[in-house]
Homo-oligomer: A and B are copies of this chain.
Amino acid sequence: MKFSVLKEDPATRARIGVIETERYIAKTPVFMPVGTLGTVKTLSPCELKDMGATIILGNTYHLYLRPGVELIEAFGGLHRFASWNRLILTDSGGFQVHSLSPLRKITDEGVEFRSHLDGSRHFFTPEKVIEIQRTLSSDFVMPLDWCVSYPATDAEVEKGVELTVKWARRSRKVPLKEHQSLFAILQGGMSEKYRRLCAEELVDMGFEGYAIGGLSVGEPKGLMWEMVDFSASLLPKDRPRYLMGVGKPEDIVFAVMCGVDMFDCVLPTRCARNGLLFTSKGKLRIKNSVYKDQDLPVDENCGCYTCRNFSRAYLRHLFVNDEILALRLNTIHNVYFYLSLMEEIRNRIADGSFESWARRFIEEYSEMEA
């Protein structure tokens, strides 16, 4: 993987760049739709490509439990299994063990957990997590980390950083395939002290990219933004910075201002299935009866398949009648909105208008209702 910064915004820490691999090229800042089980829910790979998605996410924890690593190995990796020939980032499973699994037990060696599906017992070591991702053959690999809850005591945060650093060190020793790049994950709760400590250790080891983890775990938005800002400032400029699992459109624009390059979040896909659509004029709940007879697209400024072909009235009709096409058309729209937002961000950084646009967007978007 080669990461090049093409332009830095003079007024903020935002930058545009490009991640190049033999398989594909991704422009940054980039949004990566989440494909938990090897499918971005409701969408075909063909639709994702048409919309310009370059990287999708796969969840190590979920894929490990089903269909299992052996099956994906027999297919030569997740790309071929899921028929996706652009880029894939797989997470470490650490966050899912933290959030989904009952009865987890952490030791220095790793984490024992029970499957949220059938209660079966499993043990993840840092080495095993890398080996799983080697088998999945994803392009970007995340090491096992330890995410603390919010709020957490200093002792818990310190323990989380200690484990995360120790596990990152062990992860680096596990060989990957030639096309794979290993990121590190920055933890440290809501503490600048521990974030700094963690960053120093990880940067010292040297990774191909750096992720900011442990945020969006229940903390207030202002605190999350402070931690994004501070965390991003600790990471080397010449490596891609990835903010894990965040977030809302305004969170993304804010994080870009702090110098973040990569994003993933279930929000556009999950909200779509709940009928919440993101538009240039704000959020729109398609089941609202005001849309019952509106002969207008969801967003007149949007070029997605949904907006080019269907009215709010038709989308509402499909949604209230539980038609599967509603979930697809909503998902197409929301993913397109996020991908277009990233394109606008890149264009504005390129033409020098990013700062003023971003400040206004951040101020206005969270309150806007279409």
Which A residues contact B (CB, under 8 angstroms)?
37-39, 41-46, 66-67, 71, 74-75, 81-83, 292-293, 295, 305, 309-311, 313-314, 317-318, 320-321, 323-325, 327-329
Contact = CB atoms under 8 A, between A and B. Distances in A.
Contact of A41 (B83, B295, B323): B323
A324 B327 contact: yes
Given A81-B313, A83-B309, A305-B46, A41 B292 contact: no
Specify how many copies of this chain sit in the oligomer: 2
A328 B324 contact: yes
Given A74-B293, A292-B71, A295-B75, A41 B313 contact: no
Contacts of A310: 83
A331 B139 CA distance: 32
17 contacts: A37-B318, A37-B321, A37-B323, A39-B323, A39-B325, A41-B325, A42-B325, A43-B325, A44-B325, A44-B329, A66-B317, A66-B320, A67-B313, A74-B293, A74-B295, A83-B309, A324-B324
A334 to B, nearest CB: 14
Nearest to A75: B295
Given A66-B321, A323-B39, A313 B44 contact: no
Contact of A317 (B38, B41, B313, B321): B38
Contacts of A37: 317-318, 321, 323
A48 to B, nearest CB: 11
B66 A305 contact: no
B44 A305 contact: yes
Contact of A311 (B45, B66, B81, B317): B81
Contacts of A81: 311, 313-314
A125 to B, nearest CB: 26
Contacts of A321: 37, 66
A45 B295 contact: no
Contacts of A41: 323-325
Contacts of A323: 37, 39, 41
A113 B45 CA distance: 45
Contacts of A83: 309-310, 314
A313 B78 CA distance: 12
A192 B67 CA distance: 55
Contacts of A309: 45-46, 83
A263 to B, nearest CB: 23
A83 B309 CA distance: 6
A295 B309 CA distance: 36
A109 to B, nearest CB: 30
Contacts of A38: 314, 317
Contacts of A328: 42, 44, 324, 328
Contacts of A313: 67, 71, 75, 81
Nearest to A66: B321
A44 to B, nearest CB: 7
A293 B39 contact: no
A318 B71 contact: no
